[in-house]
Amino acid sequence: MSEALRVGIAGLGTVGASVVKVLADKAAELTRQCGREIVVVAVSARDRSRDRGVDLAKAAWFDDPVALAKSDGIDVFVELIGGADGPARACVEAALQAGRHVVTANKALLARHGLELAAIAEKNGVLLNYEAAVAGGIPVIKTMREALAGNTVSRVFGILNGTCNYILTRMGAEGLTFEECLKDAQRLGYAEADPTFDIEGYDTAHKLAILTSLAFGSRIAPDDIYLEGISNITQADIRAASELGYRIKLLGVAQRTEGGIEQRVHPTMVPTASVIAQVNGVTNAVAIETDIVGELLLSGPGAGGNATASAVIGDIADIAKSRPGFQHGPVFGRPADELAPYVRAPMRSHEGGYFIRLTVHDRIGVFAAIAGRMAANGISLQSIVQHADGDNGEAEKTVILVTAETTEAAVRKAVEGITEDGHLTTKPQVIRIERAG
């Protein structure tokens, strides 16, 4: 049997502690599967005295994660610190430059510096594995990097943030407000005290940027993503979606077009009968559309200590199974210096059209003005629904429009015109309707 694989772990939060525990509990099984023992020989964290519920007595302690990353006593460096810069970036760079394999769950780091880190890893002939960085326990990175070899990907989309999916699921199932669901998510540990990174779509955007690079062989471009969060979704939107046969999900969508690559993160209406509409709670799902296999949907736990730890351990096991002299594959599916420059495509027409909710003054001529603005921008309407409101003492109506396929620019221009006409009593709501498997 080969010598043991020596692992150093930086970051002993929920995921880090879970990795240590599972490696200990499953030691015999992992040794049989990998043909060698996997041993945690060193760790680094901010607080030595904290009880993490795992046995660290035999592991060397490093106060400085960069020193651990450079240590000759490890073969694999596992980064679970988090953050796009600072200690996380410094120690991953140090490990790769020292010829250590790296496993990370850090999507922000990869979204910002993945190209640079991939180049260092490939130059030094070591692995940079990151399955846990996207969709938790779902093996989407391995699927795209290995299992779909030969396939040309045309589109990848999915539910990539468990916090948002939990909130939207509760709003739909129980009639609760966004604020009520967010408080519950924070109480249960699904959302941070400051939930901005999740609910405004940044977390999803980082994950989507990584998937886009893998799918289309392009450089990572996290700043070229059209971004909307879910904080403006109301019960009025949830109810209207249900009446029309849809559910609202926060989707990350990347697709290849004639004009380049389109990346977007936003609330989306998907048909209630679609598979992705049935993905509820903190569960994630990723759909990949290709020319050979067709559409592939992967679904499972997208967050949490055990799910993320499972992905980290899978990456460590892959390294344990490799042997000296083995030629490792490129980090993003093709060599870093061969990744194509990212060309951002303009937002194009959507097959499902748009949902537009307008709260307007209940007076003569309003509806005709709305219809005129739509016609002036070449927008065909598939359905129009009106509801009388007036709960606040003012005569109001809610007008719900569902458009045929049209462009983002046309919809935005029409809504801006309606707003300028002075007919609206509240901010308009625009949600895309997506074809989904």
Per-residue pLDDT reduced to its tens digit, 89-123: 999 999 999 999 999 999 999 999 999 999 999 99
Mean pLDDT score, 2-11 = 94
Q: Give the whole-angstrom CA distance, residue 272 versus residue 276.
A: 9
DSSP letters, 168-187, are HHHHHHH---HHHHHHHHHH
pLDDT at 229 over 60: yes
Nearest to 99 by CA among 59, 127, 119, 130: 127
pLDDT of residue 325: 59
pLDDT of residue 136: 84
Grouping H, G, I as helix, E, B as strand and the rest as coil, residue 344 is: strand
DSSP letters, 217-273, are -B---TTS-EE--STT--HHHHHHHHHHTEEEEEEEEEEEETTEEEEEEEEEEEETT
pLDDT of residue 347: 66
Per-residue pLDDT reduced to its tens digit, 286-299: 999 999 999 999 99
In the chain, the percentage of residues whose pLDDT exceeds 90 is 77
Backbone phi and psi for residue 301, each to the nearest 5 degrees, phi listed first = -65, 125
Residues near 95 by Cβ (< 8 Å), separated by ≥ 6?
Answer: 69, 70, 77, 79, 101, 102
pLDDT of residue 47: 87
Question: Which range, of 201-205, 322-326, 331-335, 384-388, averages the lowest pLDDT?
Answer: 322-326
Mean pLDDT score, 306-316 = 94
Residue owning tokens 């000759």: 72
pLDDT at 305 over 70: yes
Q: One-letter amino acid identity for 359?
A: T
For residue 322, how many C-alpha atoms fall within 13 Å in the half-sphere facing its CB? 19
Q: How many CB atoms lie within 10 A of CB 40?
A: 24
pLDDT of residue 152: 95
Mean pLDDT score, 178-197 = 91
Mean pLDDT score, 336-361 = 85
**Measured at the alpha carbon of residue 93, what is the angle toward residues 88 and 96, in degrees to the nearest 5?**
125
Six token digits for residue 153 = 């990907």
pLDDT at 16 over 80: yes
207, 321, 397, 427: the active-site residue: 207
Q: Give the whole-angstrom CA distance, residue 13 versus residue 229.
A: 27
**Residue 26 annotated to the active site:** no
pLDDT of residue 328: 72
Question: Which range, of 141-155, 160-174, 191-205, 378-392, averages the lowest pLDDT?
Answer: 378-392
Q: How confident is the model at residue 323 (pLDDT cuts 50, 70, 90)?
A: confident
Q: Give the whole-angstrom CA distance, residue 313 versus residue 116.
A: 24
pLDDT of residue 1: 59
pLDDT at 390 over 90: no
pLDDT of residue 191: 86
Mean model confidence pLDDT for the chain: 91
**What pTM was estimated for this model as a whole?**
0.91
Per-residue pLDDT reduced to its tens digit, 48-99: 888 888 889 899 999 999 999 999 999 999 999 999 999 999 999 999 999 9
Q: How confident is the model at residue 349 (pLDDT cuts 50, 70, 90)?
A: low
